[in-house]
Amino acid sequence: MRHLRTILLLQFTLLLFCPDASRGADLPGSKDSPLLRRFVGSEIVAYQAKRYDEFELQTSTFARYNLATRKREFVRPPLRPAGKLTRIWYEAAGDTGSLEVYRNYLNELVSKGFVILYDSKRDPAAVNWTNYLAPFGSMDIQTNCSYYIFYAAEKTGLCVASAKKSRPEGDVYIQLTAVEWGKNEPVYKARRGAYIAVDIIETQPMVQKMVTVTADEMSQSINATGKVSLYGIYFDTNRSDIKPESRPALQEIASLLKKQPILKLHVVGHTDNIGGFEFNMGLSKRRADAVVATLVKDFGIVPARLTANGVAYLAPVAPNTTEPGRAKNRRVELVPR
């Protein structure tokens, strides 16, 4: 009997999330994520995809709303993963409630190997601050209904969860925000039903897309500021092996040195602050050593003209509190000796 109940439950779960299930008219250009199926009968009413962005992910209970900063504060600071961001907002019309949709998505996440980081339905304090549970002010994606869908929802049906799945190619984070509309249909909604926002962040390093700095531009920067910052020399995370796509930047450094035979340079490695000071001090020096070694071996630069240095994160050019800032701090600088 237990085995039969398990089979029936599995069949019911598969039905609810079956990709081929009957669905309404999705927003043009939208699509499901391959990481997560949709609730049966729901349709996509808003969609946004960005190659790289940062997202605030709630992982603990709400503490207070700071009126001075107009920001929510939590017992633990939210995570801010960065990477590919996909935002899909589904509507399930009819008698579907937010709790039904929400719990089906939680079960789906667990079945796919996600770890639940926060679940508002298991948070006793959540009932006291439903007005601040979801960041309504930031949910400004234009839907095929209205900008104001979340404002018009019944706060008592609000459910919020976050989850994480570790994988070799980069961790995945998902945040769920479910709401519903009761019998008194608000002016912003045409139908009764539930609505869930599925925010998916696939972490990955930002790909530097700046045009390679030429030898002449390096010379101009050195003459104007006393240094030149380079972002075209690439390393894997926590490693000092130079990646092949760094060759154009290295070739321009070699060209600069050959055009100015008396120029001697400090090659200075800079990192972000992830991993601690001692680790990054060693990493930044090893990366500078690798640049010097490559210039000597592959481009014939005399070793005495180059000195490798590492300063970890002691000379940031942007805050290390965000991934875009950390990306700016990961660089190699050339400073004349």
Please tell me the distance from the alpha carbon of residue 75 to that of residue 66, in angstroms, as a whole number. Answer: 13
What CATH number is associated with residue 262? 3.30.1330.60
Work out whether strand 82-93 and strand 115-119 pair parallel, antiparallel, or are unpaired: unpaired
| Residue 146 sits in the same domain as residue 232 | no
User: Please, what's the b/e burial string for 257-291 (b: 16 or more CB within 10 A of its CB; e: otherwise)?
Assistant: beebeeeebbbbbbbbbeeeeeebbbbbbbbbbbb
Amino acid 284: pLDDT: 95
Q: Is residue 11 part of a domain?
A: no
**Residue ranges making up the domain that contains 286:** 215-336
Amino acid 168: pLDDT: 75
| Residue 238 sits in the same domain as residue 197 | no
Please tell me the distance from the alpha carbon of residue 121 to that of residue 155, in angstroms, as a whole number. Answer: 13
Q: 173, 203, 233 — which closes off a domain? A: 203
pTM for the whole structure: 0.56
Amino acid 112: pLDDT: 93
The answer to whether the beta carbons of residues 24 and 41 sit under 8 Å apart is yes
pLDDT in tens, the chain (337 residues): 333 233 223 223 333 333 333 345 888 889 999 999 999 989 898 888 988 888 888 888 877 766 776 666 777 888 888 888 999 989 887 788 889 999 999 999 999 999 999 998 988 877 666 555 554 444 455 555 544 455 555 666 788 899 999 887 788 999 998 888 655 554 444 456 788 889 999 987 555 555 678 999 999 999 989 999 998 898 888 889 999 889 999 999 999 999 999 999 999 999 999 888 999 999 999 999 999 999 999 999 999 999 999 999 999 998 888 777 888 899 999 999 9
| Residue 165 sits in the same domain as residue 229 | no
CA 54 to chain centre: 4
| Residue 199 sits in the same domain as residue 220 | no
